């Protein structure tokens, strides 16, 4: 399977005619319509956006073939993916989450701290979940103070945990 990036997640049904709430993960929320059919996480289902409109912090979308509330409800929490090559290259200092997962996390001395397991955002900014060789995972803010260097080509990043962690 080619590299894919999650660009949106279907939320609850909206109304009775099959529309869904759509949470985009793109810088420009309406860009989710620019990439053609989107795939489910397992790659078994494809979704075409027929219409979309902004609504508060989300989009309301009509998906091809989804014509009633029951069908829309069945899609709740479905994550939507697009092939990586369809996306623009990130600018300097910007990264796709998928590029960070799997990178080796090192301290400023070059010692391995762990591996980036995931990136989360609970509303206050991105957090890196670092999985050490043993012990519990560690959550660190993904900002320039805590992560002063990201080197995608070398598959590593440098972390300087805050003094209180």
Q: Which domain holds residue 11?
A: 4-86
In tens digits, the chain (165 residues) has pLDDT values of 458 889 999 999 999 999 999 999 888 899 999 999 999 999 999 999 999 999 988 999 999 999 999 999 999 999 999 998 898 888 887 888 888 999 999 999 999 999 999 988 877 788 999 999 888 999 999 999 999 999 988 999 999 987 765
Question: Is 74 in the same domain as 121?
Answer: no
pLDDT at 81: 94
Q: How many domains does the chain have?
A: 2
Residue 165 lies in a domain: no
Question: Is 62 in the same domain as 111?
Answer: no
Question: Is 39 in the same domain as 75?
Answer: yes
pLDDT at 154: 93
Element at 72 (helix H, strand E) = helix 69-73
Question: Is 19 in the same domain as 64?
Answer: yes
The sheet that has 58-63: what strands, in order across it?
46-47, 38-39, 79-83, 4-14, 19-24, 58-63, 49-55
Q: How far is CA 127 from CA 3, 30, 76, in A?
A: 22, 25, 25
Question: Is 71 in the same domain as 140?
Answer: no
CA distance 87 to 30: 14
């Amino acid at each position: 399977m080619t590299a894919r990036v999650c660009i949106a997640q279907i939320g609850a049904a909206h109304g009775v005619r099959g529309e869904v709430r759509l949470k985009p993960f793109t810088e420009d929320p309406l860009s989710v319509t620019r990439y053609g059919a989107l795939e489910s996480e397992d790659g078994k289902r494809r979704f075409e956006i027929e219409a979309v409109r902004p609504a508060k912090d989300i989009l309301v979308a009509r998906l091809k073939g989804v014509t009633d509330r029951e069908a829309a409800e069945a899609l709740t929490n479905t994550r939507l993916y697009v092939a990586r090559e369809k996306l623009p290259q990130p600018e300097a200092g910007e990264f796709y989450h998928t590029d960070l997962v799997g990178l080796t996390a090192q301290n400023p001395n070059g010692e391995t701290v762990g591996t980036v397991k995931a990136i989360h955002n609970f509303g206050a900014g991105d957090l890196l979940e670092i999985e050490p060789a043993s012990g519990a995972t560690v959550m660190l803010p993904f900002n320039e103070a805590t992560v002063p260097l990201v080197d995608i080509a070398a598959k590593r990043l440098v972390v300087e945990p805050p003094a209180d962690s």
